[in-house]
Amino acid sequence: MEKVVLAYSGGLDTSYCLKYLSEEKGLEVYTALANTGGFSAAELAEIERKAYELGAKKHVAIDVTGEYYDKCIKYMVFGNVLRNKTYPISVSSERAFQALAIIRYAKSVGAKYVAHGSTGAGNDQVRFDLCFSVLAPEITILTPTRDLQLSREEEIAYLRAKGVQRDWSKMAYSINKGIWGTSVGGKETLTPDKNLPESAYPSPLQREGSEELTLTFERGELTGVNGEAGEPGIALISRLEAIASPWAIGRDTHVGDTIIGIKGRVGFEAAAPLLIIKAHELLEKHTLTKWQIYWKEQLGNWYGMFLHEAMHGEPVMRDIEKFLQHSQRNVSGEVRLLLRPYHFDLVGIRSDHDLMNAGFAQYGESNNAWSADDVKGFTKILSIPLRIHNAVNGEDA
Protein backbone atom coordinates (compact mmCIF):
# COMPACT_ATOMS: atom_id res chain seq x y z
CA MET A 1 0.00 0.00 0.00
CA GLU A 2 1.17 3.51 -0.77
CA LYS A 3 1.90 5.70 2.24
CA VAL A 4 0.42 9.07 3.09
CA VAL A 5 1.39 11.21 6.05
CA LEU A 6 -1.58 13.16 7.37
CA ALA A 7 -1.09 16.30 9.45
CA TYR A 8 -3.43 15.20 12.23
CA SER A 9 -4.91 17.16 15.13
CA GLY A 10 -7.76 14.87 16.16
CA GLY A 11 -10.39 17.43 15.13
CA LEU A 12 -13.25 16.91 12.72
CA ASP A 13 -11.46 17.75 9.46
CA THR A 14 -8.44 15.55 10.07
CA SER A 15 -10.60 12.75 11.49
CA TYR A 16 -12.59 12.78 8.25
CA CYS A 17 -9.41 12.80 6.17
CA LEU A 18 -7.97 9.82 8.05
CA LYS A 19 -11.07 7.70 7.48
CA TYR A 20 -11.48 8.83 3.87
CA LEU A 21 -7.86 8.30 2.84
CA SER A 22 -7.78 4.87 4.47
CA GLU A 23 -11.11 3.43 3.36
CA GLU A 24 -11.96 5.29 0.16
CA LYS A 25 -8.47 5.72 -1.27
CA GLY A 26 -6.88 2.56 0.10
CA LEU A 27 -3.82 4.35 1.44
CA GLU A 28 -1.68 3.42 4.42
CA VAL A 29 -2.18 6.46 6.64
CA TYR A 30 0.54 7.66 8.97
CA THR A 31 -0.78 10.39 11.26
CA ALA A 32 1.56 13.03 12.65
CA LEU A 33 0.74 15.71 15.18
CA ALA A 34 3.33 18.49 15.09
CA ASN A 35 3.06 19.78 18.64
CA THR A 36 3.69 23.53 18.92
CA GLY A 37 2.67 23.50 22.58
CA GLY A 38 -0.51 23.78 24.57
CA PHE A 39 -1.28 20.04 24.78
CA SER A 40 -1.19 18.07 28.02
CA ALA A 41 0.13 14.52 28.12
CA ALA A 42 -3.44 13.28 28.55
CA GLU A 43 -4.63 15.23 25.51
CA LEU A 44 -1.80 13.86 23.36
CA ALA A 45 -2.64 10.32 24.50
CA GLU A 46 -6.31 10.82 23.62
CA ILE A 47 -5.44 12.15 20.15
CA GLU A 48 -3.24 9.09 19.57
CA ARG A 49 -6.05 6.76 20.71
CA LYS A 50 -8.49 8.36 18.28
CA ALA A 51 -6.00 8.09 15.41
CA TYR A 52 -5.62 4.33 15.85
CA GLU A 53 -9.37 3.95 16.38
CA LEU A 54 -9.95 5.60 12.99
CA GLY A 55 -7.48 3.31 11.22
CA ALA A 56 -4.05 4.94 11.35
CA LYS A 57 -1.16 2.60 10.52
CA LYS A 58 1.11 4.59 12.82
CA HIS A 59 0.76 7.78 14.84
CA VAL A 60 3.52 10.09 16.07
CA ALA A 61 3.59 13.31 18.05
CA ILE A 62 6.51 15.50 16.99
CA ASP A 63 7.58 18.12 19.53
CA VAL A 64 8.63 21.33 17.77
CA THR A 65 7.97 23.69 20.68
CA GLY A 66 11.64 24.59 21.18
CA GLU A 67 12.17 25.40 17.52
CA TYR A 68 8.92 27.35 17.41
CA TYR A 69 9.98 29.51 20.35
CA ASP A 70 13.57 30.09 19.23
CA LYS A 71 12.74 30.87 15.61
CA CYS A 72 9.42 32.64 15.94
CA ILE A 73 7.75 33.35 19.29
CA LYS A 74 10.56 35.40 20.77
CA TYR A 75 10.65 37.61 17.67
CA MET A 76 6.90 38.13 17.84
CA VAL A 77 7.40 39.37 21.40
CA PHE A 78 10.33 41.60 20.38
CA GLY A 79 8.07 43.08 17.67
CA ASN A 80 4.92 43.24 19.87
CA VAL A 81 3.21 41.52 16.97
CA LEU A 82 -0.59 41.70 16.98
CA ARG A 83 -2.31 41.33 13.62
CA ASN A 84 -4.68 44.24 13.08
CA LYS A 85 -3.72 45.31 16.62
CA THR A 86 -5.71 42.38 17.99
CA TYR A 87 -4.58 38.85 17.14
CA PRO A 88 -1.26 37.41 18.39
CA ILE A 89 -0.93 35.35 15.18
CA SER A 90 -1.33 32.10 17.08
CA VAL A 91 -2.29 29.59 14.39
CA SER A 92 -0.69 31.50 11.54
CA SER A 93 2.78 31.43 13.03
CA GLU A 94 2.59 27.75 14.01
CA ARG A 95 1.87 26.40 10.57
CA ALA A 96 5.34 26.82 9.04
CA PHE A 97 6.91 24.80 11.86
CA GLN A 98 4.18 22.17 11.77
CA ALA A 99 4.54 21.82 8.00
CA LEU A 100 8.32 21.49 8.31
CA ALA A 101 7.97 18.73 10.91
CA ILE A 102 5.33 16.89 8.85
CA ILE A 103 7.37 16.94 5.65
CA ARG A 104 10.50 15.75 7.46
CA TYR A 105 8.53 12.83 8.83
CA ALA A 106 6.99 12.08 5.43
CA LYS A 107 10.47 11.84 3.92
CA SER A 108 11.67 9.59 6.75
CA VAL A 109 8.92 7.00 6.16
CA GLY A 110 9.13 7.17 2.38
CA ALA A 111 5.61 8.53 1.88
CA LYS A 112 4.39 9.19 -1.63
CA TYR A 113 1.73 11.59 -0.36
CA VAL A 114 1.27 14.19 2.36
CA ALA A 115 -2.19 15.38 3.40
CA HIS A 116 -3.88 18.05 5.48
CA GLY A 117 -7.49 18.81 6.42
CA SER A 118 -7.70 22.47 5.43
CA THR A 119 -10.80 23.73 3.67
CA GLY A 120 -10.75 25.73 0.44
CA ALA A 121 -11.89 28.95 2.10
CA GLY A 122 -9.14 29.71 4.60
CA ASN A 123 -5.48 30.55 5.05
CA ASP A 124 -4.14 27.20 6.20
CA GLN A 125 -4.50 25.55 2.80
CA VAL A 126 -2.01 28.06 1.39
CA ARG A 127 0.34 27.78 4.36
CA PHE A 128 0.57 23.99 4.23
CA ASP A 129 0.64 23.75 0.44
CA LEU A 130 3.34 26.39 0.13
CA CYS A 131 5.62 24.82 2.74
CA PHE A 132 5.10 21.28 1.45
CA SER A 133 5.72 22.24 -2.18
CA VAL A 134 8.87 24.20 -1.37
CA LEU A 135 10.39 21.62 0.95
CA ALA A 136 9.36 18.46 -0.92
CA PRO A 137 8.12 19.11 -4.47
CA GLU A 138 8.40 15.38 -5.21
CA ILE A 139 5.65 14.49 -2.67
CA THR A 140 2.04 14.85 -3.84
CA ILE A 141 -0.33 16.86 -1.63
CA LEU A 142 -3.81 15.47 -0.87
CA THR A 143 -6.61 17.65 0.53
CA PRO A 144 -9.92 15.74 0.71
CA THR A 145 -11.90 18.35 2.65
CA ARG A 146 -10.94 21.08 0.22
CA ASP A 147 -11.26 19.04 -2.97
CA LEU A 148 -14.70 17.65 -2.08
CA GLN A 149 -15.90 21.04 -0.76
CA LEU A 150 -17.33 19.44 2.35
CA SER A 151 -19.22 21.21 5.11
CA ARG A 152 -18.70 20.24 8.75
CA GLU A 153 -22.16 18.65 8.75
CA GLU A 154 -21.24 16.47 5.75
CA GLU A 155 -18.05 15.33 7.43
CA ILE A 156 -19.95 14.42 10.57
CA ALA A 157 -22.56 12.51 8.53
CA TYR A 158 -19.79 10.51 6.79
CA LEU A 159 -18.10 9.57 10.06
CA ARG A 160 -21.41 8.59 11.63
CA ALA A 161 -22.15 6.36 8.64
CA LYS A 162 -18.78 4.69 9.23
CA GLY A 163 -19.74 3.96 12.82
CA VAL A 164 -17.56 6.58 14.45
CA GLN A 165 -19.05 7.57 17.79
CA ARG A 166 -18.12 11.00 19.18
CA ASP A 167 -19.71 13.91 21.01
CA TRP A 168 -20.45 15.74 17.76
CA SER A 169 -21.78 18.80 19.60
CA LYS A 170 -18.20 19.64 20.58
CA MET A 171 -17.25 19.66 16.90
CA ALA A 172 -19.54 22.55 16.04
CA TYR A 173 -16.46 24.76 16.24
CA SER A 174 -13.03 24.38 14.67
CA ILE A 175 -10.54 24.69 17.53
CA ASN A 176 -6.79 24.98 16.95
CA LYS A 177 -4.76 24.85 20.14
CA GLY A 178 -1.15 25.95 20.59
CA ILE A 179 1.15 27.53 23.14
CA TRP A 180 0.69 30.96 21.55
CA GLY A 181 -3.09 30.85 21.67
CA THR A 182 -6.18 28.91 20.69
CA SER A 183 -8.37 29.90 17.75
CA VAL A 184 -12.11 29.17 17.72
CA GLY A 185 -14.01 29.30 14.42
CA GLY A 186 -17.49 28.37 13.25
CA LYS A 187 -21.14 29.32 13.63
CA GLU A 188 -21.09 32.86 15.05
CA THR A 189 -17.74 33.76 13.47
CA LEU A 190 -19.13 33.05 9.98
CA THR A 191 -21.28 36.19 10.03
CA PRO A 192 -20.34 39.75 11.02
CA ASP A 193 -23.16 40.37 13.51
CA LYS A 194 -22.68 37.72 16.21
CA ASN A 195 -20.02 36.84 18.74
CA LEU A 196 -18.95 33.55 20.25
CA PRO A 197 -20.86 32.39 23.35
CA GLU A 198 -19.04 31.67 26.59
CA SER A 199 -19.42 27.93 25.99
CA ALA A 200 -17.42 28.07 22.75
CA TYR A 201 -14.16 28.96 24.52
CA PRO A 202 -12.12 25.99 25.75
CA SER A 203 -11.01 27.78 28.96
CA PRO A 204 -13.96 28.85 31.16
CA LEU A 205 -13.82 31.64 33.73
CA GLN A 206 -12.85 30.13 37.10
CA ARG A 207 -11.65 33.06 39.20
CA GLU A 208 -13.18 36.16 40.76
CA GLY A 209 -11.82 39.25 42.46
CA SER A 210 -8.31 40.22 41.38
CA GLU A 211 -4.71 38.99 41.45
CA GLU A 212 -1.39 40.80 41.17
CA LEU A 213 1.20 39.51 38.73
CA THR A 214 4.83 40.41 38.08
CA LEU A 215 6.65 39.56 34.85
CA THR A 216 10.43 39.82 34.55
CA PHE A 217 12.16 40.44 31.22
CA GLU A 218 15.83 40.20 30.28
CA ARG A 219 16.83 41.65 26.92
CA GLY A 220 13.23 41.39 25.78
CA GLU A 221 12.61 37.77 26.77
CA LEU A 222 10.36 36.64 29.62
CA THR A 223 12.62 35.21 32.36
CA GLY A 224 10.43 35.24 35.45
CA VAL A 225 6.85 35.01 36.70
CA ASN A 226 5.99 36.36 40.15
CA GLY A 227 9.64 36.42 41.12
CA GLU A 228 10.30 32.81 40.11
CA ALA A 229 13.03 32.75 37.48
CA GLY A 230 13.09 30.39 34.52
CA GLU A 231 14.73 29.82 31.18
CA PRO A 232 13.08 31.79 28.37
CA GLY A 233 10.85 29.47 26.40
CA ILE A 234 7.76 27.31 26.36
CA ALA A 235 7.85 26.17 30.01
CA LEU A 236 7.68 29.74 31.32
CA ILE A 237 4.88 30.64 28.90
CA SER A 238 2.97 27.56 30.07
CA ARG A 239 3.45 28.60 33.70
CA LEU A 240 2.00 32.01 32.95
CA GLU A 241 -0.88 30.50 30.97
CA ALA A 242 -1.81 28.34 33.97
CA ILE A 243 -2.05 31.50 36.12
CA ALA A 244 -3.89 33.70 33.62
CA SER A 245 -6.20 31.30 31.79
CA PRO A 246 -8.64 30.80 34.74
CA TRP A 247 -9.34 34.55 34.55
CA ALA A 248 -10.60 34.11 30.93
CA ILE A 249 -8.13 36.79 29.86
CA GLY A 250 -7.06 37.28 26.26
CA ARG A 251 -10.33 36.58 24.47
CA ASP A 252 -11.27 38.52 21.39
CA THR A 253 -12.51 38.22 17.81
CA HIS A 254 -10.07 38.93 15.02
CA VAL A 255 -11.31 40.35 11.72
CA GLY A 256 -8.83 40.58 8.88
CA ASP A 257 -7.82 39.92 5.31
CA THR A 258 -7.02 36.36 4.36
CA ILE A 259 -4.20 35.31 2.07
CA ILE A 260 -6.74 34.40 -0.61
CA GLY A 261 -8.32 37.85 -0.50
CA ILE A 262 -11.58 37.47 1.40
CA LYS A 263 -12.35 38.90 4.83
CA GLY A 264 -12.27 36.42 7.68
CA ARG A 265 -13.37 36.28 11.30
CA VAL A 266 -12.08 34.05 14.07
CA GLY A 267 -12.39 34.03 17.85
CA PHE A 268 -9.41 33.27 20.03
CA GLU A 269 -8.16 33.02 23.57
CA ALA A 270 -4.52 33.83 24.28
CA ALA A 271 -4.02 34.72 27.93
CA ALA A 272 -0.24 34.35 28.21
CA PRO A 273 0.59 35.85 24.79
CA LEU A 274 -1.49 38.98 25.40
CA LEU A 275 -0.01 39.50 28.87
CA ILE A 276 3.54 39.02 27.61
CA ILE A 277 3.18 41.28 24.56
CA LYS A 278 1.44 44.11 26.41
CA ALA A 279 3.83 43.96 29.38
CA HIS A 280 6.81 43.90 27.02
CA GLU A 281 5.41 46.82 25.04
CA LEU A 282 5.03 48.90 28.22
CA LEU A 283 8.61 48.11 29.25
CA GLU A 284 9.80 49.24 25.82
CA LYS A 285 7.97 52.55 26.17
CA HIS A 286 10.19 53.25 29.15
CA THR A 287 13.50 51.86 27.85
CA LEU A 288 13.63 52.65 24.13
CA THR A 289 13.94 55.97 22.31
CA LYS A 290 11.03 57.27 20.26
CA TRP A 291 12.77 56.37 16.99
CA GLN A 292 13.55 52.85 18.15
CA ILE A 293 9.88 52.43 19.01
CA TYR A 294 8.77 53.94 15.69
CA TRP A 295 10.90 51.69 13.50
CA LYS A 296 10.13 48.63 15.60
CA GLU A 297 6.43 49.27 15.02
CA GLN A 298 6.98 49.38 11.26
CA LEU A 299 9.13 46.25 11.08
CA GLY A 300 7.07 44.38 13.66
CA ASN A 301 3.98 44.96 11.55
CA TRP A 302 5.73 43.65 8.43
CA TYR A 303 7.08 40.66 10.33
CA GLY A 304 3.60 39.74 11.53
CA MET A 305 2.11 40.16 8.06
CA PHE A 306 4.74 37.89 6.51
CA LEU A 307 4.20 35.28 9.23
CA HIS A 308 0.46 35.38 8.63
CA GLU A 309 0.92 34.90 4.89
CA ALA A 310 3.20 31.84 5.17
CA MET A 311 6.39 33.73 4.37
CA HIS A 312 8.50 32.75 7.39
CA GLY A 313 11.02 31.31 4.94
CA GLU A 314 11.49 34.62 3.09
CA PRO A 315 15.12 35.74 3.68
CA VAL A 316 14.08 39.28 4.66
CA MET A 317 12.57 37.74 7.81
CA ARG A 318 16.08 36.90 9.04
CA ASP A 319 17.08 40.53 8.46
CA ILE A 320 14.10 41.83 10.44
CA GLU A 321 14.85 39.36 13.24
CA LYS A 322 18.38 40.74 13.57
CA PHE A 323 17.04 44.26 13.93
CA LEU A 324 14.44 43.17 16.50
CA GLN A 325 17.02 41.20 18.50
CA HIS A 326 19.44 44.12 18.59
CA SER A 327 16.72 46.51 19.74
CA GLN A 328 16.22 44.48 22.93
CA ARG A 329 19.59 45.04 24.57
CA ASN A 330 18.14 47.44 27.19
CA VAL A 331 14.63 45.96 27.47
CA SER A 332 15.09 44.48 30.93
CA GLY A 333 13.07 44.94 34.09
CA GLU A 334 9.87 44.03 35.90
CA VAL A 335 6.31 44.78 34.86
CA ARG A 336 3.45 44.72 37.36
CA LEU A 337 -0.05 43.75 36.24
CA LEU A 338 -3.45 43.24 37.83
CA LEU A 339 -5.62 40.34 36.67
CA ARG A 340 -9.42 40.45 36.83
CA PRO A 341 -12.16 38.41 35.13
CA TYR A 342 -11.85 38.89 31.33
CA HIS A 343 -9.44 41.80 31.79
CA PHE A 344 -6.02 42.90 32.98
CA ASP A 345 -4.40 46.22 33.86
CA LEU A 346 -0.80 47.30 33.30
CA VAL A 347 0.22 48.85 36.63
CA GLY A 348 3.82 49.93 36.09
CA ILE A 349 7.47 48.97 35.58
CA ARG A 350 10.84 48.94 37.30
CA SER A 351 13.99 48.99 35.17
CA ASP A 352 17.59 50.12 35.47
CA HIS A 353 17.23 51.33 31.87
CA ASP A 354 14.11 53.43 32.45
CA LEU A 355 14.47 56.63 30.40
CA MET A 356 11.79 58.32 32.51
CA ASN A 357 14.63 59.64 34.66
CA ALA A 358 13.66 62.17 37.32
CA GLY A 359 17.23 63.54 37.33
CA PHE A 360 16.46 65.34 34.07
CA ALA A 361 12.81 66.25 34.49
CA GLN A 362 9.40 65.20 35.73
CA TYR A 363 6.73 65.67 33.10
CA GLY A 364 4.49 68.63 33.91
CA GLU A 365 6.30 69.28 37.21
CA SER A 366 9.99 70.16 37.02
CA ASN A 367 12.77 70.73 34.48
CA ASN A 368 16.31 70.18 35.74
CA ALA A 369 18.20 69.85 32.46
CA TRP A 370 17.14 73.13 30.79
CA SER A 371 15.99 76.65 31.60
CA ALA A 372 12.96 78.69 30.59
CA ASP A 373 15.13 80.69 28.17
CA ASP A 374 16.32 77.43 26.57
CA VAL A 375 12.71 76.46 25.82
CA LYS A 376 11.91 79.90 24.41
CA GLY A 377 14.83 79.67 21.97
CA PHE A 378 14.05 76.05 21.10
CA THR A 379 10.41 76.85 20.36
CA LYS A 380 11.37 79.84 18.22
CA ILE A 381 13.68 77.73 16.05
CA LEU A 382 11.09 74.93 15.87
CA SER A 383 8.45 77.35 14.62
CA ILE A 384 10.50 78.77 11.71
CA PRO A 385 9.27 76.38 8.93
CA LEU A 386 5.63 76.98 9.88
CA ARG A 387 6.14 80.74 10.12
CA ILE A 388 7.71 80.81 6.65
CA HIS A 389 4.86 78.71 5.19
CA ASN A 390 2.20 80.94 6.69
CA ALA A 391 3.96 84.12 5.60
CA VAL A 392 4.23 82.90 2.00
CA ASN A 393 0.93 81.04 1.61
CA GLY A 394 -1.38 82.31 4.33
CA GLU A 395 -2.83 80.43 7.25
CA ASP A 396 -5.35 78.45 5.19
CA ALA A 397 -2.91 77.20 2.53
Does any domain span residue 175?
no
Judged against a pLDDT cut of 90, whether residue 260 lies above it is answered with: no
Write down the pLDDT at residue 256: 87
Tell me the average pLDDT of the chain: 93
Give the pLDDT confidence of 2-31 residue by residue, as tens digits.
999 999 998 889 999 999 999 999 999 999
Residues 112 and 155 both lie in one domain:
yes
List residues bridging with 59 in a β-sheet.
Answer: 31
Quick one: 27 and 71 in the same domain?
yes
Name the band, by pLDDT with cuts 50, 70 and 90, for residue 134: very high
Q: How confident is the model over 154-163, as a mean pLDDT?
A: 93
82 shares its domain with 210? no
| CA gap 140, 154 in Å, rounded | 25
Tally of domains in the chain: 3
E strand spans, 125-282: 140-142, 174-178, 181-185, 211-218, 221-225, 228-229, 251-257, 263-269
Tell me: do 203 and 294 sit in the same domain: yes
Separation between Cα atoms, residue 243 and residue 220, nearest integer Å: 21
Choose from 156-170, 279-293, 354-368 the range with maximum mean pLDDT.
Answer: 279-293
Residue of higher predicted confidence among 174 and 377: 377
Statement: residue 358 has pLDDT above 70 = no
- Per-position DSSP letters for 273-340, written without gaps between them: HHHHHHHHHHHHHHHS-HHHHHHHHHHHHHHHHHHHTT-TTSTHHHHHHHHHHHTTTT--EEEEEEEE
Instruction: Write phi, then psi, for 393 (nearest 5 degrees).
Output: -115, -10
Considering the domain boundaries, does residue 176 fall inside one? no
> pTM for this structure?
0.90
CA–CA separation, 156 and 158 (whole Å): 5
State the residue range of the domain holding 129: 3-170
- Which CA distances in Å does 162 have to 5, 100, 144, 155? 21, 32, 17, 11
Helix (H) or strand (E) holding 346: strand 343-350
